[in-house]
Amino acid sequence: MEIKSGRFYFVKDEFFEKINDPYLKTNRETTKRPHYFAIKDEKTGLYWLVPISSKVEKYEKIIKNKQNLNKPTDAIKIIRVFNEKSVLLFQDMFPVTEQYIKEPYIKGNQSVRIESESLISELSKNAQNIISKIRNGVKFTPTQPDIKRIEQLMLAEIQAKEQPPQQINPPAANPIKQETPKNPSLLKRLDDKKEVCKGLNGKPGGKGGKNNPDIE
């Protein structure tokens, strides 16, 4: 499946079960939560997804309060998708590998997407800025997912897949012991040779040595 910029996707339940982070915006029992594909980290190969919310009024108030306090509002973006307002929660974004992206968000037989290329570029730059802040220890909310831990888990999966399988060498074969053939005639000849050797060494009863006149 090709993951395209400006599109929205669903994340597999398997991912949330594996990560088991209480602050992730997970799927619901009856409906799946769409996520906006912000950027792909070319260094790691991870896809960074931004959960979306339909609670526009709630987050408009939050943004307004931040503005009144002269605080940055880049962690929350309200945009229009197919002429409807949606909230992009950059503060809750997280990385995944491609295997955890289930399918694109289809509505009315159309792939839900952002049409404006300039807006896509703006959101991509904003995502890079948020990721940099998170890696530097910035915490936007008390309920922010542990992004560093999630990233390490995903990178560990990638590394495990890239490692070649270990080769197991078969056990060395046991050497085959050669047994002396049990041939009666051969054994008799061997015994005769032993007797001759005894005689040559000068042992009594032997057919040779100093006591044998045939050998001087």
What was the pLDDT predicted at 53? 94
CB 38 within 8 A of CB 131: no
What is the block-wise mean pLDDT of the chain (216 residues), using blocks of 10 residues? 93 96 90 93 94 96 96 96 94 96 93 94 96 93 94 94 70 59 57 55 47 40
pLDDT value of residue 214: 40
Count CA atoms closer than 13 A to 214's CA, side-chain side.
5
Class in CATH terms, 8-162? alpha beta
The pLDDT value recorded for residue 210 is 43
What pLDDT is attached to residue 186? Answer: 55
- Looking at residue 77, its pLDDT comes to 97
Q: What is the pLDDT of residue 195?
A: 58
C-alpha–C-alpha distance, residues 3 and 81, integer Å:
18
What pLDDT is recorded for position 166? 66
Q: Radius of gyration (Cα) for the chain, nearest Å?
A: 40
